[in-house]
Structure 1
């Protein structure tokens, strides 16, 4: 592929993949560490830790996007990788729950700054329009693959080693990622067209609020978060306490959700050539409503089993992919090229804002009220998010046509009435 013939992009993409897998392995190991420290209340600990993660993402990501053009980007990416590697290396040494919260805060602050910086670097390295689109797609595929392979790798590793070694491997991965970033030639950032930091930090969010299809995506973010929080937060206690599984079983159950995500992601490119993104994404929302409702119903009736859990987790993975995978396409069709980084940064922040709502519900309510109540509440939220998306995102949403103005180098969005037959 011509894209991967670009040396700097190849190194930077490899760094992203390694960091993604490091984050995935850390998530699995963190759940097991929380179980060792808190036992039946591991869901509450993990939910609190992940809530801290979401706060960092919501607050820091827009600020990083605002100031990324003022900092040496390669140095910043390297420093952030080193910080993450050091924090992960310290995680297996802790003995108190509060220490998890402190280290997770530091780890996720670095990750929240890394992502918008990485997204801003891509258009500076990949200048061809078609290659840039492929680069964004490749990043999405990498994220999808990580959701499947990280739990699988963790499951294999946990068959012959302690989960503490996962932290060590993750730390080494972040350092390798830093070396790969260091080997790239990243040009200096072009100054933002927004002069004030507040304008730079909020411009992408204002775009979301003023664009009907993007307001629909905001509602769909909530649907993804409701189902995903069940998998991420509650799997460890559900498998260990209710199903009597092992540490490796936790990772394999997480892999079931990742398998559903991967299967859907492999089929979706051809589907999106024939069906609108709105149809695919709202269908995914319906799948997630069905999955969360089934989980709540079966656990309330005491009928959920190993097989039932695996099936529901796989269905949830499929539904999440149906929403997440087309999102980049919709974002690219809704703004000009110069606004893509800030729009992606806004989606990064707004999607994690939805997780900030659902993680505490899954963790705290799950530990105190039980899974039947918790999953019922999350199923209701999934239904509300789906209904909101259908109302906010017009059915006949014209394809966005983007034109380039010669001076200044800005892109203006307009809607072509002749393309009402198929949405972006």
Structure 2
């Protein structure tokens, strides 16, 4: 039976697609709203808003995972969608910066609770192992495509509409997602007696600290966050203030980074069949360090080249994919299936903590001292993470190409979890 012949999965997948593209549009609109309210201080506004997001994700997502088995999941997911729809609909009407922070806190609280609940629903809807693996792969493709296509759609829309209309589209998307969720037959979760979320995170971090390849992953999280913060936080100011571009140009520059991610993600599976994960990820670290170096040289010299900037943004997207895509493989090859949940809970927290460091640097330092000092600090962090990863990760956990000692369905769940934890453009 085709995966999409399963009615409930088909509707849930449609809800995921609609919500993902809605949040992608809102990401672009949020940057333009910050620029509209704060001008050259937009980077600081975005840095603060995204820092709030990271804090809430680190705190609320584990708590939601702990209590999801005690709630009627279908109603809970629909309510969270409606909360997000209402918050996004209110964003175009704010006239003070602090209003953005309050609404973003509400929005991200709902998103942080939605993600683990949604992930926990899929195995109850798609119960056959082979189909479950395909369901996880389909979700991963959706996340990858969103990072490319949302900025493109935003750029096209901004040709005809003002940016505040993007928030309206996002709100309608969340409302449609709620309707689709309510139309599915999602069973309530069975109560569990497993360890709490914070115990899983603490245990997973201990495993990361004593496992060579996982110590390398920790360091590489910092490399990804250092380069990615330039794209996520500083694109709007760089395009508007330095390059002199308009609203649509901001979206196209973000699309350049998404395009780099997609190109690498498409080519990478065949590469990983022949090349060790460590080699691929260290190559990604080198690409990101080189891209941040080029960005720093560009802003320090006062060069204003659209082609050069777009090339750097493409390189950042590609370098991030080289690290993020194999991360799930490395983690799942480092433990038994029973230990995977705690490892991915730890990876979720550790990766978000890295962004919690780099977002304020890109936003606050970039606004107060300028892009050159901010990107200098991010270059030091990226280079330090790359060197640390090379020193800490001294060998492959298993020979390249060797299958893990558990089923593909079990492994695929971990791979998707890592990919979803590293998605940074979702508002």
Structure 1 and Structure 2 fold alike (TM over 0.5):
yes
Q: Does 1:366 align with 2:353?
A: no
Deviation at 1:240, TM superposition (A): 0.5
Q: Tell me the residue number matched to 2:392.
A: 392
Q: Tell me the residue number matched to 2:287.
A: 287
Q: Tell me the residue number matched to 1:171.
A: 171
Change (3 A) 1:247 1:195: closer
Whole-angstrom distance in 2 between the partners of 1:131 and 1:219: 34
Whole-angstrom distance in 2 between the partners of 1:74 and 1:339: 28
Q: Which runs of 5+ in 1 are unaligned?
A: 405-409, 412-424
User: 182-191 vs 14-23, which deviates more?
Assistant: 182-191
Whole-angstrom distance in 2 between the partners of 1:252 and 1:314: 11
Whole-angstrom distance in 2 between the partners of 1:197 and 1:325: 25
Change (3 A) 1:205 1:350: same
Change (3 A) 1:179 1:215: farther
Deviation at 1:128, TM superposition (A): 3.1
Whole-angstrom distance in 2 between the partners of 1:248 and 1:36: 14
Deviation at 1:269, TM superposition (A): 1.3
How many residues align? The count is: 406
Whole-angstrom distance in 2 between the partners of 1:139 and 1:377: 35
Q: Tell me the residue number matched to 1:42.
A: 42
User: 1:295-347, CA deviations, whole angstroms, 9 ceiling, x for partnerless residues?
Assistant: 00121111241111000000111001111122233333344445555544443
Q: Tell me the residue number matched to 1:418.
A: none
Alpha carbons 1:140, 1:325 under 8 Å: kept: no
Q: Tell me the residue number matched to 2:19.
A: 19
Q: Tell me the residue number matched to 1:422.
A: none
Q: Tell me the residue number matched to 1:416.
A: none
Q: Tell me the residue number matched to 2:321.
A: 321
Whole-angstrom distance in 1 between the partners of 2:397 and 2:182: 43
User: 224-233 vs 395-404, which deviates more?
Assistant: 395-404
Q: Tell me the residue number matched to 1:156.
A: 156
Deviation at 1:259, TM superposition (A): 0.8
Q: Tell me the residue number matched to 1:63.
A: 63
Q: Tell me the residue number matched to 2:232.
A: 232
Whole-angstrom distance in 1 between the partners of 2:47 and 2:196: 35
SS at match of 2:53: helix
SS at match of 1:159: helix
RMSD of the alignment, in Å?
Answer: 2.2
Q: Tell me the residue number matched to 1:146.
A: 146
Alpha carbons 1:24, 1:151 under 8 Å: kept: yes
Q: Which runs of 5+ in 2 are unaligned?
A: 412-427
Deviation at 1:189, TM superposition (A): 2.1
Deviation at 1:197, TM superposition (A): 5.7
Deviation at 1:81, TM superposition (A): 0.8
Deviation at 1:169, TM superposition (A): 0.3
Deviation at 1:92, TM superposition (A): 0.4
Change (3 A) 1:315 1:162: same
Whole-angstrom distance in 2 between the partners of 1:35 and 1:219: 32
